[in-house]
Chains A and B, each alone.
Chain A
Amino acid sequence: MKTVENEHVHLGLTDEDVLEMYKKMLLARKLDERMWLLNRAGKIPFVISCQGQEATQVGAAFALDREVDYIAPYYRDFGVVLSFGFTAKDIMLSAFAKEEDPNSGGRQMPGHFSSRKHRIITGSSPVTTQVPHAVGFALAAKMKKESFVTLTTLGEGSTNQGDFHEGLNFAGVHKLPIITLVENNKLAISVPYDKQVASETVAARAESYGMYGEKIDGTDPLQVFKVIKEARERAINGEGPSLIEAETVRLTAHSSDDNDAAYRTKEEKEADRKNDCMVKFADYLKSCGILTDSIEKNLVETIQHEINEATKYAENAPFAPVASLTDYVYEQ
């Protein structure tokens, strides 16, 4: 057997924990695949994907205290929000823009996550605006002496925005309990890393803000779990914020409205496939004897059934009544 066999045990994770992580990753992946099919069949207008980033998302979410911590996610974070309480049904209600969509009642595009109940902070489409918001939550935690951390995520392209620098500097000055996780899939729509970021790594930017920075392999959920957990401990202990850069791959086009053939070669895409976190984590679990072919088959069947039910439910669910258009501009 491989020497990595007991890696999760060293991190304090049980076999059940890692299997649960795999299930969340698989649910995110299968939901994503289904939404593409629904989009291509003309049933839903838009898809934005998490494929290739599930390990980062689920690894990070599991490292948090999912009973108290807040998250300010970005649009690819299906793995994060599924770990924070969203279900397949919630995701499908959003995809179909139905009244019961917990994010927005069908007002926002998919991927614009929000739920006060699950401590998911509402987000928008202009990128990086969530970073100062997360800093504001962390400031509130410090002012109110509440013991929680806030995790915000974004892509590497977004680390060029003013709000990234303004937010992280504020967090660094005030030593706030916040973790900024950059999911670096090396493409900002079509523009590669070397045309986006002047520093060798995103993590290097941490130094300017007086905070801890580290670059990790985002295709390994256990490494992500370990590093985010350490960041959380520092945050809770008053040791300030962290900037973690997780290197991932993007296995789809930017969105359902994008054709990546214009800017990516087949060879590049094939190379990324070899770095698919789903395959790598399944291999690890199999090498540990936690996942077998029959467990995997059952898992896939259960998840497909859940997604079928969610899709059926969401497709048949009502839209918000048109008279609700003018609701909730202000407090009513």
Chain B
Amino acid sequence: MTELNYIQAITLAMEEEMNRDENVFVVGEDVGIKGGVFRATDDLYNKFGEDRVIDAPLAESAIVGVGVGAAMYGMRPIAEIQFADFIFPAVNQIISEAAKIRYRSNNDWNCPITIRAPFGGGISGALYHSQSVEAIFNSTPGLKVVVPSSPRDARGLLKAAIRDNDPVLFFEHKRAYRLLKEDVPTEEDEIIPIGKAAIKREGEDVTVITYGINVSITEKIATKLEKEGTTVHLLDLRTIYPLDQEAIIEAAKKTGKVLLITEDNKEGSIIGEVSAIIAEHCLFDLDAPVKRLAAPDVPAMPYAQPLEREFIVTEDKIEDEIKQLARF
């Protein structure tokens, strides 16, 4: 076991995979000598050289598109998008290309690319360094979308993504990078399967289904509420596309009261789909309307701190919602 923070776990996963397979390489903006603006590729340039840790020209569609080509050839590219907010120039390459390569070639070609991007707010990143962009990709069969909630998951899921034979989008909450620390079984080659949600906590009163940084925040609140007599059943989606339907249904049925949380805008977010799954499968097991806690439907979070705080899902808001549901 080694105590790692979230970003160290990501760096370690890349280093381990690059050591294991010479076809794995990193391409992105400032990933080389600088080691990335968040330092996710710290020291990889020194360890693997400029041919495998490629400082790409500032052009996101090429970062992904060149990666898609290399992946079809048989390489294992890890394309880093510096901020998820800057992924949009590459969306054509992700949705029209990477996602459809296996299907459109009737299984003749495939595209084993991993696209990593820091996302999320609460760091004074304003409109264009804070967004949750995952919903854009959550109706695109052919893609897998992963959002780890802890250092251990980050390492195990990133290794799984790199080894996956299909394209994986890997979104890392930037507030988690240095906030979350835990013991990671670095002595093992731990692979955490993509497509499986995880029960983080068993409880009887309220089910919370969320992903990313809100998992650890909810855990903290659940510990506090347990002392007050309310127990929370917490499901971490981990892979947000395709969703682990079975785990969602089971978790919803467990308590009959479901709170869904995302940092994304409420309208059209991934939790809307989770809610639909529950509506289709769990109607007679529900004891309260499904609640969604999300950002208001404004374009993105502002720079000014009071406005940013108003936008974001906070501990207080989560605690209130859980309490209200418990009383329902």
Residues of A within 8 A of B (CB): 70, 72, 102-105, 107-108, 112, 114-116, 121-122, 124-126, 129, 131-143, 162-163, 165-167, 169-170, 173, 327-332
Contact check, A114 vs B65: say whether CB atoms are below 8 A apart.
Answer: no
Query: Contact partner of B59 among A129, A134, A170, CB < 8 A?
Result: A170
Alpha-carbon gap, A70 to B69, bound state (A): 11
Alpha-carbon gap, A173 to B72, bound state (A): 22
Return chain B residues, CB-CB under 8 Å to A173: 57
Query: Contact partner of B69 among A108, A132, A331, A332, CB < 8 A?
Result: A132
Query: Contact partner of B62 among A121, A140, A166, A330, CB < 8 A?
Result: A166
Return chain B residues, CB-CB under 8 Å to A170: 56-57, 59, 62, 66
Complex interface residues of chain B between 72 and 119 (CB less than 8 A to chain A): 72-75, 77, 89, 92-93, 96-97, 100-110
Residues of B within 8 A of A (CB): 25, 51-52, 56-57, 59, 61-62, 64-75, 77, 89, 92-93, 96-97, 100-110, 141-142, 144, 164-166
Alpha-carbon gap, A115 to B105, bound state (A): 8
6 chain-A/chain-B pairs, Cβ below 8 angstroms = A114-B105, A122-B109, A136-B66, A137-B72, A170-B57, A331-B166
Return chain B residues, CB-CB under 8 Å to A328: 102-103, 106-107
Known: A116-B108, A133-B69, A135-B69. 13 other contacts (CB 8 A): A108-B104, A116-B105, A132-B93, A136-B66, A139-B69, A140-B73, A163-B65, A163-B92, A166-B57, A170-B56, A330-B142, A331-B165, A332-B107
**Total A-B Cβ pairs within 8 A:** 139
Contact check, B72 vs A163: say whether CB atoms are below 8 A apart.
Answer: no
Return chain B residues, CB-CB under 8 Å to A122: 72, 101, 104-105, 108-109
Task: Please judge, given known A-B contacts A126-B92, A132-B62, whether A137 and B104 are in contact too, CB under 8 Å.
Answer: no
Alpha-carbon gap, A140 to B75, bound state (A): 7
Q: What distance in Å separates the Cβ of A148 from its nearest Cβ neighbour in chain B?
A: 10
Return chain A residues, CB-CB under 8 Å to B65: 129, 131-133, 135-136, 163, 166-167
Contact check, A121 vs B69: say whether CB atoms are below 8 A apart.
Answer: yes
Contact check, B96 vs A136: say whether CB atoms are below 8 A apart.
Answer: no
Q: Nearest chain-B residue to A133 (Cβ)?
A: B69
Return chain A residues, CB-CB under 8 Å to B144: 330
